[in-house]
Amino acid sequence: MMKIILSMSMTAIITLVLMITCSIISKKTIMDREKMSPFECGFDPKSSARLPFSLQFFLIAILFLIFDIEIAMILPMIITMKMSNIMSWAMTVTIFILVLIIGLYYEWKNGMLEWTF
């Protein structure tokens, strides 16, 4: 028990020392208008460099990643078909694909798949 308390206290001390050292050594930056503006060959920028991010694009990207991962999960199911009971394998695949279809239907009905500007 003493070893655990000693190792936890040493970890906390080392962590605090590193955090304090990093905050002392770190470079302090003073934010002003010139340093925060984008560089355009010495001229004033014509428009804002910070364009608003489309939330709809983010949702489409997340949906793509989700369905991409699901395809990666479906592909090994084909290989495991030979090694498993066909009834349990068919039920697993059916439930998995049914959940995917219900999720896609839900997203479609809520208008998450429509690209609007």
Residue 29 lies in a domain: no
Closest by alpha carbon to 92, among 81, 103, 104?
A: 81
Burial of 39 (0-12, 13-18, 19+ CB in 10 A): exposed
Query: Average pLDDT, stretch 35-59?
Result: 67
Residue 19 lies in a domain: no
pLDDT > 60? residue 117: no
CA 69 to chain centre: 13
- Please name the residues in contact with 44: beta carbons below 8 A apart, sequence gap of 6 or more: 37
Number of domains in the chain: 1
64-116 pLDDT per residue, tens: 888 888 888 888 888 888 888 889 888 988 998 898 889 888 888 887 777 66
Q: Choose between 73 and 32: higher pLDDT.
A: 73
Residue 89 lies in a domain: yes
Amino acid, single-letter form, for residue 92: T
* pLDDT, position 10: 94
Burial of 17 (0-12, 13-18, 19+ CB in 10 A): exposed
* pLDDT, position 72: 86
Residue 76 lies in a domain: yes
* pLDDT, position 44: 60
Residue 12 lies in a domain: no
Q: How confident is the model at residue 25 (pLDDT cuts 50, 70, 90)?
A: confident
Residue 105 lies in a domain: yes
Residue 23 lies in a domain: no
Q: Give percent of the chain with pLDDT exceeding 90.
A: 18
